[in-house]
Amino acid sequence: MKLWGGRFTKETNRLVHNFNASISFDQKFYRQDIRGSIAHVTMLAKQGILSETDRDIIINGLKGILSDIENGTLEFSPESEDIHSFIEQNLIERVGEAGKRLHTGRSRNDQVALDMKLYTRDELDEIDALLKNLLTSILKVMEEHLETYMPGFTHLQKAQPITLSHHFGAYFEMFRRDRSRICDIRSRMNLCPLGSGALAGTTYPLDRDYTASLLEFDGPTLNSMDSVSDRDYLIELLSALSTIMMHLSRFSEEIIIWNSNEYRFVEIDDSYSTGSSIMPQKKNPDIAELVRGKTGRVYGALMSLLTTMKGIPLAYNKDMQEDKELSFDAIDTVKGCLTLFTGMIDTMKFNQSVMESSAKNGFTNATDAADYLVNHGVPFRDAHGIVGQLVLFCIEKNISLDDMSLEEFQAISPVFEKDIYEAISLKTCVEKRTTIGAPGKEAMIRVIENCKDYLNL
Binding site for ligand ARG (CB under 6 A): 22, 26, 82, 108-109, 112, 316, 318, 320-321, 324
Pick the closest to residue 102 from 114, 118, 119, 90 (CA basis).
90
Q: How far is the CB of 176 from ligand ARG (least distance, A)?
A: 34
- Choosing from 51, 77, 260, 276, the catalytic residue is 276
| Spatial separation of the C-alpha atoms in residues 185 and 306, rounded to whole Å | 17
Question: What are residue 154's DSSP bridge partners?
Answer: 157
Report the DSSP pairing between strands 349-350 and 149-154. Answer: unpaired
Q: How far is the CB of 329 from ligand ARG (least distance, A)?
A: 15
Instruction: Rank residues 199 and 415 by Cβ distance to ligand ARG and give the closer one.
Output: 199
| Spatial separation of the C-alpha atoms in residues 427 and 423, rounded to whole Å | 9
Phi-psi region for residue 438, left (φ > 0), alpha (ψ -120 to 50) or beta? beta
Please list, in sequence order, all residues whose beta carbon lies within 8 angstroms of the beta carbon of residue 75, skipping any fewer than 6 positions away: none
Instruction: Rank residues 108 and 292 by Cβ distance to ligand ARG and give the closer one.
Output: 108
Q: How far is the CB of 60 from ligand ARG (least distance, A)?
A: 26
Beta strands in 132-270 (DSSP E): 149-154, 157-163, 266-267
User: Does the annotation mark 103 as catalytic?
Assistant: no
Instruction: Rank residues 2 and 452 by Cβ distance to ligand ARG and give the closer one.
Output: 2
Report the DSSP pairing between strands 157-163 and 349-350. Answer: unpaired
Please list, in sequence order, all residues whose beta carbon lies within 8 angstroms of the beta carbon of residue 244, skipping any fewer than 6 positions away: 127, 131, 175, 178, 334, 338
Q: How far is the CB of 77 from ligand ARG (least distance, A)?
A: 15
Q: Distance of CA 339 to CAs 127, 137, 174, 291, 310, Å? A: 10, 11, 17, 11, 33
| Spatial separation of the C-alpha atoms in residues 223 and 225, rounded to whole Å | 6
Please list, in sequence order, all residues whose beta carbon lies within 8 angstroms of the beta carbon of residue 163, skipping any fewer than 6 positions away: 145, 146, 147, 148, 149, 150, 430, 439, 441, 444
Please list, in sequence order, all residues whose beta carbon lies within 8 angstroms of the beta carbon of residue 194, skipping any fewer than 6 positions away: 36, 39, 40, 106, 110, 111, 113, 114, 208, 211, 212, 215, 220
User: Does the annotation mark 276 as catalytic?
Assistant: yes
| Spatial separation of the C-alpha atoms in residues 286 and 273, rounded to whole Å | 6
User: Residue 322: what are its φ and ψ, rounded to 5°?
Assistant: -65, -15
Judge if the upstream peptide bond of residue 212 is cis by omega within 30 degrees of 0: no
Instruction: Rank residues 310 and 318 by Cβ distance to ligand ARG and give the closer one.
Output: 318
Instruction: Rank residues 40 and 158 by Cβ distance to ligand ARG and give the closer one.
Output: 40
Instruction: Rank residues 78 and 205 by Cβ distance to ligand ARG and give the closer one.
Output: 78
| Spatial separation of the C-alpha atoms in residues 341 and 354, rounded to whole Å | 23
Within 10 angstroms of residue 422's Cβ, the number of other Cβ atoms is 10
| Spatial separation of the C-alpha atoms in residues 412 and 168, rounded to whole Å | 38
Instruction: Rank residues 22 and 221 by Cβ distance to ligand ARG and give the closer one.
Output: 22
Q: Are 148 and 355 in contact, with CB atoms under 8 Å apart?
A: yes
Q: How far is the CB of 51 from ligand ARG (least distance, A)?
A: 28
Q: How far is the CB of 65 from ligand ARG (least distance, A)?
A: 18
Residue number of the CB closest to ligand ARG reads 321
Instruction: Rank residues 119 and 172 by Cβ distance to ligand ARG and give the closer one.
Output: 119
Q: How far is the CB of 208 from ligand ARG (least distance, A)?
A: 19
- Choosing from 37, 155, 165, 277, the catalytic residue is 155
Q: How far is the CB of 109 from ligand ARG (least distance, A)?
A: 5
Residues with a known catalytic role: 155, 276
